Amino acid sequence: MQIDREQAGSDVVLKVTGRLDTPNAKPFETSLLDAVSGSEGAITVDLAGVDYVSSSGLRALLVAGKAMRTAKRDLTLRSLQPQIREVFDISGFSTLFEIK
């Protein structure tokens, strides 16, 4: 898995490539939380390069989502592949995050 971070003013974009599975979930969560604590604006996670999301990956996003909600900031997900979009829809994440 590879995570590229782009800073746009106070906002952050994280471009993720690879699998969001159990071994990668912890580094992914750390990157997300670093972005939350290291910026003051919105965070966008680009999932165009992700073709596999397991429960560990979903929970990493949920942890970041809770932190952003507490900080009253927006966490947006974008460019989801269809099978990834499906897992977000049926798990109810689509109502929790803004998805573009």
Task: Summarize as ranges the residues that interact with other proteins (CB under 8 A).
Answer: 21-22, 53-56, 58-59, 62, 66, 83, 86-87, 89-93, 95-96
Answer positive or negative: Cα dihedral of 74, 2, 94, 98. Answer: positive
- How far CA 1 is from CA of 64, 66, 94, in Å, comes to 18, 23, 23
Question: Does residue 74 contact residue 43 with C-beta atoms inside 8 Å?
Answer: yes
- Cβ 78 to other proteins, closest distance in Å? 19
Identify which of residues 13 and 94 has a Cβ nearer to other proteins in the complex: 94
- Cβ 39 to other proteins, closest distance in Å? 23
- Cβ 48 to other proteins, closest distance in Å? 18
Identify which of residues 12 and 88 has a Cβ nearer to other proteins in the complex: 88
Identify which of residues 14 and 53 has a Cβ nearer to other proteins in the complex: 53
Identify which of residues 39 and 54 has a Cβ nearer to other proteins in the complex: 54
> In whole angstroms, how large is the CA radius of gyration of the chain?
12
- Please state, in angstroms and rounded to a whole number, the distance separating the CA atoms of residues 11 and 45: 11
